């Protein structure tokens, strides 16, 4: 039998893993996500080069997919640390998800940023550039914690079913 880990150790691991993996996934998101072409004019704001660019959705899907994968993988790792107390795992997973999502968004948007106002000040003719990276659908920010909560729910259901079948014998 292995020694039981303290709840604080699992939460501390969640903070560190959430921040580090979120920053790393921000780099991956900046590399994977397509940019929206923007038409920059010297006299007014930049507008998308097209009526409804599909790059907005593709960027959000890439962000959400990375967040879901991270939520599942990290929650499984946290559950292996302290499987006997799933409430601690849930709390740690939600903390890792919130911090990881924030880090992923921060790093990704900084790596994919474009100074539109600076371009407008220096150009004299219309220019088409790749726009800054952004998340358009706010629901993408809850994908990581949601995936972690679903993993904990499945684990709790599996434990409950195992307990139920052992009582029936």
In a domain, 16, yes or no: yes
In a domain, 30, yes or no: yes
In a domain, 22, yes or no: yes
| pLDDT score recorded for residue 129 | 82
Contact 79, 151 (CB under 8 A): yes
Q: Which three-class secondary structure state does DSSP give residue 69?
A: helix
In a domain, 162, yes or no: yes
How confident is the model over 53-78, as pLDDT tens digits?
Answer: 788 899 999 999 999 999 999 999 99
How confident is the model over 127-146, as pLDDT tens digits?
Answer: 888 888 889 999 999 999 99
Residue range of the domain that includes 73: 7-167
| Neighbouring C-beta atoms of residue 112, cutoff 10 Å | 19
- pLDDT higher than 90, residue 115: no
Least confidently predicted of 79-83, 86-90, 111-115, 155-159: 111-115
Residue bearing tokens 């923007």: 38
Confidence of residue 169 (pLDDT cuts 50, 70, 90): low
Identify the top-confidence range among 8-22, 75-89, 127-141.
Answer: 8-22
| Neighbouring C-beta atoms of residue 103, cutoff 10 Å | 19
Least confidently predicted of 23-32, 44-53, 107-116, 123-132: 44-53
In a domain, 36, yes or no: yes
Number of domains in the chain: 1
| pLDDT score recorded for residue 1 | 41
* Residue 48 DSSP code: E
Pairwise CA distance, residues 154 & 138, whole Å: 25
Contact 38, 48 (CB under 8 A): yes
| pLDDT score recorded for residue 6 | 82
In a domain, 42, yes or no: yes
- pLDDT higher than 80, residue 157: yes
In a domain, 1, yes or no: no
In a domain, 151, yes or no: yes
What does pTM read for this prediction?
0.87
Strand partners, 130: 37
């Amino acid at each position: 039998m292995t020694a039981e880990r303290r709840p604080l150790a699992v939460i501390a691991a969640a903070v560190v893993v959430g921040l580090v993996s979120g920053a790393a996934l921000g780099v991956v998101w900046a590399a994977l996500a397509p940019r929206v072409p923007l038409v920059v004019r010297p006299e007014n704001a930049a507008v998308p080069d097209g009526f409804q660019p599909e790059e907005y959705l593709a960027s959000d899907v890439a962000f959400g997919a990375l967040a879901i994968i991270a939520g599942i993988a990290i929650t499984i790792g946290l559950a292996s640390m302290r499987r006997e107390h799933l409430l601690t795992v849930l709390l740690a997973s939600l903390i890792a998800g919130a911090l990881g999502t924030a880090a992923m968004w921060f790093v990704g948007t900084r790596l994919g940023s474009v100074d539109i106002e600076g371009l407008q000040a220096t150009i004299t003719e219309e220019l088409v550039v790749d726009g800054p990276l952004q998340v358009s659908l706010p629901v993408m920010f809850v994908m990581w914690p949601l995936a972690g909560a679903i993993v904990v729910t499945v684990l709790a259901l599996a434990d409950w079913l195992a307990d139920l079948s052992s009582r029936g014998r």
